[in-house]
Structure 1
Amino acid sequence: MGSEQIIHYIQQYSYFIIFLFLFFGIIGIPSPEESLLFLIGVLAAHGQLSMPLVVLFSFLGTYSGMIGGYYAGKLVGFPLINKYGKWIGMSEDKIVKFEGQFKKNSSKTLIMGFFMPGLRQVAPYLSGIFSINLAKYLVITSAGSLLWAITYILLGWGLGSSFPINPNYVPYLGVGLLVIFILTTLVRYLRKRRKVRGKI
């Protein structure tokens, strides 16, 4: 979906379309989340959107998607895995082992997952399937939702304020920034592993 279409939808449906795009993106329906956040940051910098409302609706859409994914995993995902997991190689022992690993790293996984497409969509379902403490989940995902949304919005706002960015090129900028973030995170992870191995 191009920027022109997104801008058209925003003009037609106002801030509610931001909520919908992010909600559906989180629960797993393909949606240009990073590009959307970056684009609305650019539009806010140009005075076409209100920054407080952009942040509010972005947060609400993301957070609602995370809550929806959690309950979908809890109510539907767990019974399915429990019943049919063996058919995809997920024995009871493997499920228990994976559950332990996920719960141990759940906070880090949920926060970092926002910045990693795929994991961002899977993490809420796994949290529900493995019954992560709801209060803990709500606190972590509220902070993660806000952090993720503000990061990309501010990137768009900052660059949009400093450079004459054509909105039609925003999807490419959003993808580029995402790739840079992932590569930077991967490099840091690999360096950390090397240091750990060096101490052993």
Structure 2
Amino acid sequence: VIFLFLFFGIVGIPAPEESLLFLIGVLSFHHQLSLGLSMLCSILGAFIGMLTAYSVGKFAGAPFIKKFGKYVGITDDRWEKVSGKYTKYVRKTILIGFYLPGIRQISPYFAGINNIPFRRFLVFSMIGTFLWTIPFIVGGYFAGKVFHINPDYVPYVGIGFFFLFSLYIIFKYIKGKKGIT
């Protein structure tokens, strides 16, 4: 489950990655999860998600942008400008992008589309994965001294957050429809 949540979160399907990593640390402190195995699953989920998104960007991204970019305001000029800046700051974007939701998800696609060399992407995404997952888990582990979370209630909290997220999406959709008419 840890692997899947982080994989899907990186690929772009909404998932609570940071809170999950923190929760893993708290539950590991209380011996509800294995710290080592949880870290391994977290690292692999995020890293394989990065590699998957890079591959999709490399093999399908450019044709997709060319065909559908105009519908969301991506002109050739805008694309060239963004691509140039991304290529110039690719190392920083990959490493620091892990800490910025949205950038974390889009960065590997951009790397693939912009033909960033695979080895360079591999190295920086691996470093970024370690620098992102481990501090959140360790922070949760040390916070576990203060927080005690009963793992029986965790699914209900997740369902509650999903419900709130769904309400937010529905509200934004309805608000957008009223604004159009």
What range is the shorter-chain TM-score in?
Answer: 0.7 to 0.9
Q: Partner of 2:102 in structure 1?
A: 118
Q: Percent identity?
A: 46
TM-score by length of structure 2 reads 0.78
Pair 1:151-2:141 in alignment: no
Q: Partner of 2:65 in structure 1?
A: 81
Q: Partner of 1:29 in structure 2?
A: 13
Alpha-carbon displacement from aligned partner over 1:98-121 (angstroms, at most 9, x marks no partner): 211101011111111111111111
The structure 1 segments of at least 4 consecutive aligned residues displaced by more than 6 Å after TM superposition are none
Unaligned runs of 5+ in 1: 1-16, 172-200
Q: Partner of 2:124 in structure 1?
A: 140
Report the RMSD for the aligned CA atoms in angstroms: 1.9
Unaligned runs of 5+ in 2: 158-181
Q: Is the 8 A contact 1:159 1:165 kept in 2?
A: no
Match of 1:67 among 51, 58, 61: 51
**One-letter amino acid of the counterpart of residue 109, structure 2:** Y
Matched residues in 2 for 1:114 and 1:40: separation? 18
TM-score by length of structure 1 reads 0.71
Aligned length: 154
Q: Partner of 1:42 in structure 2?
A: 26
Matched residues in 1 for 2:87 and 2:7: separation? 24
Q: Is the 8 A contact 1:27 1:68 kept in 2?
A: yes
Q: CA deviation at 1:82?
A: 2.5
Q: Is the 8 A contact 1:58 1:149 kept in 2?
A: yes
Pair 1:163-2:150 in alignment: no
Alpha carbons of structure 1 residues 166 and 88: separation in structure 2 relative to 1, 3 Å:
closer
Matched residues in 1 for 2:114 and 2:34: separation? 39
Q: Partner of 1:98 in structure 2?
A: 82
Alpha carbons of structure 1 residues 88 and 33: separation in structure 2 relative to 1, 3 Å:
closer
